Chain A
Amino acid sequence: MRASTADRAQTIPPLAVTALAWAVPGAGHLLLGRRQKGLIFLVALSAMFAIGLLLSGRLFPLGLGEPLVMLAALATRGMGLAALTAGWAGAGQGVVTAASYEYGNAFLIVSGLLNLLVSLDAYDVAMGRK
């Protein structure tokens, strides 16, 4: 298992692994042969993101007008294609009056930040550090 992971890590550019890990949660680890970790990341982060949308959370628009909103927007974009697709599909408009609005935002923002962390972990694995 470790040997095959090391072999794959040598053949795949680390930045490509990181980009793939950002685009699809867990895909970087799956690509490197760490199937169990990859599947756990895929299920957990996707579920967290979906729950955030179901709780009427908002995918904040990218813009420089309000710094805190921009940080939240960058964090939610950490979920990669899921965030981009949801935005294009019109999901994540956010219902400010909903009781669960802030909870939804917390789930969306943290799922994105966790996926960025997972992407960095995939980079470390691809570099042979882990």
Chain B
Amino acid sequence: MTTHVGLLALFALFVAVVFAVIAHDEPRQQLAFGVRVFGGFVAAGLVLGWLMFPLPL
């Protein structure tokens, strides 16, 4: 779990859970919103990582 992607997913999970529970009251809405936030975080992380790959850092 201590890989970059593993920690990214864990971080996204916690943030998605908190955002979803704050934003909505109904469990179904919370789940739908949480999945969207989680997916957005993971997808953004992967895309940004891929875009930064050629940079000489």
Contact = CB atoms under 8 A, between A and B. Distances in A.
Interface of A: 37, 40-41, 44-45, 47-48, 51, 55, 100, 103, 106-107, 110-111, 114, 117-118, 121
Contacts, number: 35
Interface in B1-38: 2, 7, 10-11, 14-15, 17-18, 21-22
A29 B22 CA distance: 11
A103 B7 contact: yes
Contact of B21 (A41, A106, A110): A41
B17 to A, nearest CB: 5
A117 B14 CA distance: 14
> Main SS of the interface on chain A?
helix
A51 B10 CA distance: 10
Interface residues of B, number: 10
B54 to A, nearest CB: 22
Contacts of B21: 37, 40-41
A124 B5 CA distance: 35
Contact of B22 (A51, A55, A111, A117): A117
A114 B15 contact: yes
Contacts of B10: 51
Contacts of A48: 14
Given A51-B10, A107-B11, A110-B11, A118 B2 contact: no
